Chains A and B, each alone.
Chain A
Amino acid sequence: MSKYWFRQKARAKRLEALIYATILMLSVFSPVFMPGVAHAAPTLTERELQSTSARPSQTTDLTWIFDTTADVANIDHIEIEFCDTPLGTCTIVNTPTIAVSLTATLTNFTSGGNTASRQSGDNGGTDNQILIDKTTADAGASKDEATISLSPTDITNNAVANKSYYTRMRIYSDTGTTLVWEGVFAQSTSQTLTVNARVQENLVFCVGSTTINDATTTPGADCSAITGTTVDIGNVESGFTNVSPVATGNGGSNVNGIAMVRTNALNGVVVSYKSILNNSSGTLKVAGAACSGVVVTDQCFNAQGTTPGTFTAGTEKFGMVVAGVNCVSATAYTCNFGSGSYNLVRDVDYDGGAAPNNTYVSDSNMVSGTTTGQYAWDATAAADTIASSAGSATKVVDDEALILKFAVTASAATPTGSYTVQADFIATATF
């Protein structure tokens, strides 16, 4: 019995010694295993903070993405503290504003249910920290791309551009006592980048003569192809109306007039003309001759005026018509006069009259009887509009050319002579 008691006592002493030794060992290594010291928690890896907007004062949808290490711990509370610096005392000069009511969406967690709320930061600041209280604590080891996303209106960026801020994330295995992971994320507001470009104003306008007598044959790629300054409508006999182009056999130059325009003016372009006065009259006349109203015995053709009309051979008249809009050279958009798809529209007084607006005036050379088209001519030197894109849906014009026909018929008494008139064509673009 006594031997048995001593053996038991010795065993108890050895156990006691073992306990003491264990306690001593634990006391030696205690700093390593003491919980609750922040800087000792494992760091979240692959940290990324996405923002849908860096514009000052704009709401942004913030999303935190991170991995956890293989350390075994649960995730219960998550604190996200917004500060101006990644470490130390928290100031909130550059930080965004956190909404009172928050909604956090967690993905790649075992369970996503949570309650998010705003609170003051652990390290300073007011209403600068988000607490996410998971409904169910998850096993947090080795999370891959764990994601916390707030709703798009939860965060409003700081009002100042180009300011960095940091979010300090702390993950607790309990309600805020046992820190198991931590990491800092960075973001910044930025000035919006404004990209400016200017398309320089452009107006290219030229006037000349052309052998083209339709709206389907190119008169040349652009104004560089337009030459000539004269349209000769030949020998005018009272039995005919001469309409350009007049064949060389009839004394003409076999050309029409042409006015080509290209402009990027946003509000369109207006093409007008002014007859140039000679001895107070801007009609087709013998240079220097005095014109007397509508008589036929002066050396001046009677201008049709601004009200268009057809010409009857032998009844003295002079006029002009925009026979058609030749836009074969337009490359910037689909342009076809015959189908009505063009931008530079003839003025009603110069579109040939009764013909549909997209019909080319067919009169040419020596026309007997009555002309098909209607003609007009303002001999007063006032500016008269002949075409415009201002009323078109698309107002810019790419090398659309007005084919100008001139018509004249003499009476038997129209005095012989060489007749001439000059016209000043003007394009006015409104940008």
Chain B
Amino acid sequence: MRGFLHKINLALHETQTLLAIVASVLFIHAPALAASLDSRSVAISTAIPGATAQHAFAITVPSVAVMGSIVFEYCSNSPLNEIPCSAPAGLDVSAAILNDQTGNIGFAIDPGSTTANMLVITRPPLPGLIVPSSYVFEDIVNPSGASSTFVRIRTYGSTDGTGAHNDSGSVAFATNQPLNVDAFVPPHLTFCSGITVALDCTDASGFYINLSELSKATANTGASQYSGASNDPSGYNVTVLGVTMTSGNNTIPELSSPSPSLPGTSQFGINLRANSSPAVGQDVIGPGTATADTSYNLSNNFMFQPGTSLSSSSLSTEFNLFTVSYLVNVSANQAPGIYNTTLTFLATAAF
């Protein structure tokens, strides 16, 4: 009886051991897993959906397993090799060009194995080098949507990406619509006139010039200023409106062309320069591009032709400040009276 129990006990031990072995076979994942590609990334030249882009892959092969091909499989659903791949809409790698490669080199695109979403590069099988490697592809058409895309990278011993893969790893990139930044620069024409003005027109004062009693022997002078700027791409123009100095029906003749001052001769004119004869005025100042019209840009020469352009800029311009010099000479027979005139400086931009 004792011997029988002993045998039963031993049988139970054997059964337990057998079950343990069977269980271990059932639950142990026997096949060795492929190693993971290290330091892997994909840098895309543009994230714009549908754009033709450069995709630059970087990997470090972790083993010296024979490598005859590398597969880059683009999937929209998952980076995991175990899950069936959904090709990203709009993606097309079939026309990709392998532009550069480093590390494990000698690859060329395998057109026979490459599809719209799977890029296969091939070479004669060689042992892998455990070094950083890069593969730069041009002419890849990005997925058409703004989304994340996974690229499953696998190395193979075969030359066409078939059979069991050696090492693998996945990377991801995202496509996005570009960000637009908009702004509007409104049109402006800033202009001011006065006896004195600030360059940027933040100040302007005076509107009246009193030449006092006109001398027959010396030139009578005065000055005023105007300044302006405009962002009209075609610039702006300043004209002078008005008439020569008058007293009733009597007038002081205007200079119809640039002329020097001739004291004792009745004449009225203006210019925009610094003059020495007579000493009046100053040249234009300011960073702008406006210049005086030729007729008013001769030092010691004066002219007055209402409606003609005084100064202008052919393009948008910063501020320029012009000084208008007034010259009045009278002859001995100039009729007595109080002579005056009102001049208007008109700035025009076309926009």
Binding site for B on A (CB under 8 A): 39, 42-43, 47, 86-87, 161-162, 164, 166, 184-186, 188, 190-191, 193-194, 196, 198, 200-209, 229-238, 242, 251, 257, 263, 265, 267, 274, 276, 284, 296-297, 299, 301, 383, 404, 406, 408, 410-431
Contact = CB atoms under 8 A, between A and B. Distances in A.
A208 B179 contact: yes
B197 to A, nearest CB: 15
Given A191-B28, A423-B181, A430-B58, A296 B318 contact: yes
A7 to B, nearest CB: 49
Given A43-B6, A208-B179, A229-B177, A419 B184 contact: yes
B183 A205 contact: no
Contacts, number: 233
B246 to A, nearest CB: 38
Nearest to A408: B183
A205 B185 contact: no
A70 to B, nearest CB: 13
Contacts of B41: 265, 267, 428-431
Given A276-B178, A416-B186, 7 more contacts: A164-B17, A193-B28, A207-B179, A230-B179, A413-B231, A416-B351, A428-B173
B48 A424 contact: yes
A184 B46 contact: no
Contacts of A422: 178-181
A206 B178 contact: no
Contacts of B190: 412
B179 A229 contact: yes
Interface stretch (B18-26, B96-104, B304-312, B334-342): B18-26
B24 A191 contact: yes
Contacts of B6: 43
A233 B178 contact: no
Classify the interface of chain B: helix, strand, loop or mixed: mixed
B80 A39 contact: no
A202 to B, nearest CB: 7
Interface in B134-149: 146, 148
Given A416-B231, A416-B233, A43 B5 contact: yes
A194 B179 CA distance: 48
Given A39-B3, A415-B231, A426-B47, A234 B27 contact: no
Contacts of A208: 179
Contacts of B47: 205, 424-427
Contacts of B284: none
Contacts of B58: 430
Nearest to A205: B174
B320 to A, nearest CB: 11
A415 B182 contact: no
A56 B205 CA distance: 103
A317 B187 CA distance: 18
Contacts of A232: 181-183
B348 interface: no
B186 A193 contact: no
Interface string B139-175: 0000000101010000000000000000001111110
A194 B29 contact: yes
Nearest to B172: A203
Nearest to A406: B181
A236 B184 contact: yes
A429 B172 contact: yes
A201 B24 contact: no
Given A86-B14, A206-B176, A415-B316, A428 B43 contact: yes
B229 A413 contact: yes
